[in-house]
Amino acid sequence: MKITAIVSHASLSLSLIWVGTAAFAVGDLKASMEIAQNSATSKSKPLGSGSKSTKKSASTPSKAIKAPSKAKPPKGVVAKFNRGMTLFNGGKFEEALIVFSALHKEFPAHEPTIIQYAKTLYRLDRIEESYNLFARINPQYLDPETSYEYGYSFYIQSHFDGALYSFQRVPAGHPLYDLASYYGSMCAIRMKKYALAEELLDKAVVLPDKLARSKTLYQKHVASLRQLQEKTDLERSAIDEKQRMNSDAARAKNPPAAPPATPTAPAAPVKYVHKGFYVNEGSYVRLQSVSTNGSSDLHSYARKNYSSKTGSFQFRHSPVVELSLKGDNNRKAAVGANTNLAVTSVTTEGKKERLVANEDSQDIIKTLTENQPRETTTLGDMAAQLWAEAPLPAGMWIGADGHGGFTYPNFARGQRYGFRGASGLLGWKNSAPISRSVMISATYDMVVDSETIPVTTQTVTESTFDITLPMGLYAALGAKYILYNYTITTLPGPDSSVSGSLNVAQAFPLGITLALTGVTEQQTNYIARGLPISGTASADGQIMTGKAALSVAPVTWLTVQASHSRTKSTWVVKQVDRAAEFKAATPDYIETGIISGSINFNF
């Protein structure tokens, strides 16, 4: 699970706390989850022979292919892809080619289809056509099997630099490691990297008889070439040094006039991309509009309905600096910062329906409707986070951060509230062949008042496991424990809570993502305050929340999202005589629908 920068979400959470206070009484509940997504490639079996392949002339499949005579083709992108994988894994490459060719024509930029299309052509010995497809993808995240096929297709087409890179990505111990080392050495020879060629030939141990016989000849040839290259380099260095000394002596006698300085454009720096759990969201300006409609049922004693319209302007800057400390797989330590400034306008209105008994006859119940007036508030938010993360052996990461921020209702300093805290994490990530990660984190946060005096503190321990499967399917499991402490005893809330969550997201073409979230939470000793008769009551409760969200991002600068959530709570009140009062002030059902749109300007 990638850690999204805390500052923007914490500021938003505080703003939502303020809005929820205006719309509900003590005890109202909200839940929100964030889904991340990744992509991964699928696996299949390579040729693995290392024999010479027959080249084809076309850049797309040119052979006449007979359509399969079995059942009707499946409908839907996922079903078609799965059908192609079934045929491919069953060795029916001609029939699989028909499926992947059709999918490629329909979705030419879909990378998993491109990969399987290329692998199928590879199995059919149509290497040139396979190369034309492999050349369109980034080999960095391919599994070892596909890396070998990628490299061999590049090798046959005499693109030795790409072939060498891909052959070197086949790890030691893999069945194709020896073949990859052999063909990698052939690429190194062509590129005149004789020391590397010698090293790769030594690693190629288990080879077919034909290649094993040629290995010894190549080893002797490479050793001679390397010695010749070293001798040539040494002679060239001596000649260059002699010419430099003669040139220095000539300039000392007749110093030339200084030429006019010609400005040269500096080389564009390569942007560093951090591979750890702290995600750099980049720098941007965002305009966002949110429409929210919600309702809650207070155990049939009352019902509340509310709506809000929110418009916001957000400025975010997230610099990252790589450090010299390095780990395996090109992982680097880094430090970063996230700063967030936002202005938000919130307009809320709603009504409350409650049941009241007639004073003359307790058997007569009537409904009393109270309209809450429309209210508009402008909020100013400022927040910051500083983090550092470093790689550990075996794909592990360790990191820590400090964060804080303030929200100013109507830009009034006397009404501000904020937060500050720190967190640490320890996690493991692996991106091949399937993206997986496990993380354990601990966070200490304080909610502070206008004088920065802590009002409540939270100690949070959290663990997550996430996995990204082929075709953009993402799943995450999470567990969280929160311990609350209230420095102001008049505040409502629980002593502790334990929760578990499951998130599932599926990415589709055209930037469409469907996400489902389920959360179960157990709260201990929740204290409700401000009850009209008894004043306070305490209860233990179980809260179940389900949420569905659909987001569409057809272009990088536009995102539209719609979501619906429903929360059910069950409470066991410790003071039996106060149960009715507690339930009349605490909702058992909450439903919320949100539609939002945002425009992002990255810089």
Rounded Cα gap, residues 534 and 19, in angstroms: 27
pLDDT higher than 70, residue 266: no
Using 50, 70 and 90 to split pLDDT, how confident is the model at 8?
A: very low
Which is more confident, 251 or 463?
A: 463
Query: Is the CB of residue 81 less than 8 Å from the CB of residue 66?
Result: no
Query: Is the CB of residue 432 less than 8 Å from the CB of residue 138?
Result: no
Rounded Cα gap, residues 102 and 107, in angstroms: 9
Rounded Cα gap, residues 531 and 312, in angstroms: 35
What residue numbers bound the domain in which 572 lies? 6-40+275-602
Rounded Cα gap, residues 358 and 365, in angstroms: 6
Q: The domain that contains 31 carries what CATH number? A: 2.40.160
pLDDT computed for residue 262 by the predictor: 61
User: What is the rounded end-to-end Cα distance, in angstroms, of the chain?
Assistant: 26
Q: Cis link prior to 532 (omega < 30° from 0)?
A: no
What count of other Cβ atoms lies within 10 Å of the Cβ of residue 214?
14
pLDDT computed for residue 441 by the predictor: 93
pLDDT computed for residue 456 by the predictor: 86
Q: What is the mean pLDDT of residues 514-530?
A: 91
Q: Tell me the per-residue pLDDT of 140-184, one tens digit each, with 9 for 90 and over.
A: 889 999 999 999 999 999 999 999 999 999 998 898 898 888 888
* Sequence letter at residue 217: L
597 within domain boundaries: yes
Query: Is the CB of residue 553 less than 8 Å from the CB of residue 17?
Result: no
Residue 163: strand, helix, or coil: helix
Instruction: Give the residue carrying structure tokens 């999204």.
Output: 4
What count of other Cβ atoms lies within 10 Å of the Cβ of residue 42?
21
91 within domain boundaries: no
What are the backbone dihedrals phi and psi of residue 483, each rounded to the nearest 5 degrees, phi first? Answer: -110, 120
Which is more confident, 340 or 246?
A: 340
pLDDT computed for residue 255 by the predictor: 66
Rg (CA), the chain: 32
pLDDT computed for residue 156 by the predictor: 92
Rounded Cα gap, residues 430 and 428, in angstroms: 7
Q: Tell me the per-residue pLDDT of 428-483, one tens digit each, with 9 for 90 and over.
A: 887 655 777 899 999 999 887 767 778 788 999 999 988 887 667 889 999 999 99
pLDDT computed for residue 55 by the predictor: 37
Contacting residues for 486 by C-beta, under 8 A, at least 6 apart: 455, 456, 493
261 within domain boundaries: no
Distance of CA 600 to the CA centre of its chain: 18
12 within domain boundaries: yes
Rounded Cα gap, residues 167 and 182, in angstroms: 9
Using 50, 70 and 90 to split pLDDT, how confident is the model at 227?
A: low
Name the token pair of 42: 């699928």
Q: Tell me the per-residue pLDDT of 112-147, one tens digit each, with 9 for 90 and over.
A: 999 999 999 999 999 999 999 999 988 888 999 999
Ranges of H-type helices in 456-567: none
* Sequence letter at residue 123: R
552 within domain boundaries: yes
Q: Number of folded domains in the chain?
A: 1
pLDDT higher than 60, residue 400: yes
Q: Tell me the per-residue pLDDT of 69-84, one tens digit each, with 9 for 90 and over.
A: 444 545 677 888 999 9
Q: Which residues pair with 284 in a beta bridge?
A: 316, 602
Which is more confident, 496 or 10?
A: 496
Q: What is the mean pLDDT of the chain?
A: 77
Rounded Cα gap, residues 276 and 333, in angstroms: 9
* Sequence letter at residue 345: S
What count of other Cβ atoms lies within 10 Å of the Cβ of residue 496?
15
Using 50, 70 and 90 to split pLDDT, how confident is the model at 544?
A: very high
Q: What are the DSSP calls for 376-392, one per residue? A: EEEEEEEEEEEEEEEE-
181 within domain boundaries: no
Rounded Cα gap, residues 585 and 354, in angstroms: 11
**Which strand (E) or helix (H) includes residue 20?**
helix 6-23
529 within domain boundaries: yes
pLDDT-wise least confident of 400-404, 407-411, 470-474, 481-485: 470-474
pTM higher than 0.75: no
Which is more confident, 54 or 180?
A: 180
pLDDT-wise least confident of 86-95, 136-145, 573-582: 573-582
Q: What is the mean pLDDT of residues 314-319?
A: 87
158 within domain boundaries: no
pLDDT computed for residue 271 by the predictor: 66
pLDDT higher than 80, residue 18: no
Rounded Cα gap, residues 325 and 323, in angstroms: 6
Percentage of residues in the chain having pLDDT higher than 90: 32
> In terms of Cα–Cα distance, which of 103, 105, 95 is closest to 76?
103
